[in-house]
Amino acid sequence: MITKEELKQIAQVAKFDFSDDDLDMMYEDINATIELIQNLKEVDTEGVQPTFYGNANHDVYREDKAIDSGKRDRLLANAPDSDEGYIRVPVILETEEA
């Protein structure tokens, strides 16, 4: 378990400024979480194979490939400004090369 003084020190190192009420709430929550983790450490996992996925489905997503939707001209027609097939946007970062 963690003490309130240790929690205050962690908050100070992390440059967090919490009220005493907030620290009291966090103290209870953190210790409950630590207790849960300690309980999980006691579970007998002998002979249990490690899992890397939560289910047996692998690569359930479609292949990521570009598809010409045929809507490019309509999209560019709605843009306030375009140039050579691209939407032109205002410059927000200036560099010496620009």
> Cβ distance 87 to 81 under 8 Å?
yes
Burial track 3-23 (b if 16+ CB lie within 10 A, e otherwise): eeeebeeeeeeeeeeeeeeeb
Q: Report which residue type is found at 27.
A: Y
Number of C-beta neighbours around residue 67 at 10 A: 5
Task: Specify the DSSP element, H or E, that contains 75.
Answer: helix 72-78
Q: What are the tens digits of pLDDT across the range 3-37?
A: 999 999 999 999 999 999 999 999 999 999 999 99
pTM of the model: 0.46
pLDDT tens digits, 29-69: 999 999 999 999 999 989 988 877 667 776 678 788 888 88
